[in-house]
Amino acid sequence: MEWLLPHIEPLLDRDPSHPGKFTVFKKTVNDACHDNTPPGTAAMVQAHGEISHLVKVYLPRQAV
C-alpha cells in the first residue's frame, strides 16, 4: 500500500476528501499486520466502507 498511494492519489479527483479516505483505509489495513494489535471491528468496518465507496465511484460496474 505504501508504494500504491502516490500513484493512486492524483487519480482520486472526483471529491477533495477521496485521497484522505484512501489514506485512512491504508493506515487501518496496514495496522492489521502481524506485529500490531489488530484494529477493532468498527475500524475495519469503516475501512471496508471507505474502500467500497471509492470502488463504486471510480470503478463503475460494467454491463454484461
Secondary structure (3-state) at 47: helix
Query: Residue written as cell 491504508?
Result: 26
Does the structure show a pLDDT above 70 at 46?
yes
Q: Tell me the three cell numbers of residue 60.
A: 463503475
Does the structure show a pLDDT above 80 at 34?
no
Measure Cα distances from 28 to 21, 35, 55, 62 in Å.
11, 14, 17, 29
Q: What does the pLDDT average to over 36-42?
A: 86
Tell me what pLDDT residue 12 has. 94
Query: Residue written as cell 508504494?
Result: 3
Q: What does the pLDDT average to over 54-60?
A: 90
